[in-house]
Each structure stands twice: as C-alpha cells, then as structure tokens.
Amino acid sequence: MELRGRAGANSITETIPLRRWRWLGHDCRMRPDSLPRVALICTPQGKRNR
C-alpha cells in the first residue's frame, strides 16, 4: 500500500471500472455496424445448455 502511494498508482479495484467506462465511451463512438458495438447491444435468444 505504501509503495503504491509513493508511486502514485491506483489500486486495481479503482483501475478496472475506469477502464471499463473508457472502453464504453470508445465503443459508443464506433459505427453502428462494428462488431464491438453489435456485441454491446446484443441480446441472445433462447436458453443455454447445462
């Protein structure tokens, strides 16, 4: 903890949500037919096998 404070680095629990939001903003600016954008709004039909 002290070493991370000296280095000025965030903890992993702070970093992951920030990167997710950053990726979401990047993804929302993509073309509507791009694969990441389609995967974001995809809602699968049916049920999965056990």
pLDDT tens track for 1-41? 677 778 888 888 888 999 999 988 888 899 989 998 888 88
- Tally of CB atoms within 10 A around 4: 11
Q: Is residue 32 part of a domain?
A: yes
Q: Is residue 13 part of a domain?
A: yes
**Residue 8 belongs to domain spanning:** 2-41
Q: What pLDDT, on a 0 to 100 scale, did the predictor assign at position 8?
A: 80
Q: What pLDDT, on a 0 to 100 scale, did the predictor assign at position 31?
A: 92
Q: Is residue 15 part of a domain?
A: yes
Q: What pLDDT, on a 0 to 100 scale, did the predictor assign at position 16?
A: 92
Q: Is residue 9 part of a domain?
A: yes
Q: Is residue 47 part of a domain?
A: no
The dihedral region occupied by 42, where left means phi > 0, alpha psi between -120 and 50, and beta the remainder, is beta
Number of domains in the chain: 1
Q: Is residue 25 part of a domain?
A: yes
Q: What pLDDT, on a 0 to 100 scale, did the predictor assign at position 41?
A: 84
Q: What pLDDT, on a 0 to 100 scale, did the predictor assign at position 1?
A: 63
Q: What pLDDT, on a 0 to 100 scale, did the predictor assign at position 11?
A: 85
Q: Is residue 48 part of a domain?
A: no
Torsion sign over Cα 27, 29, 35, 40:
positive
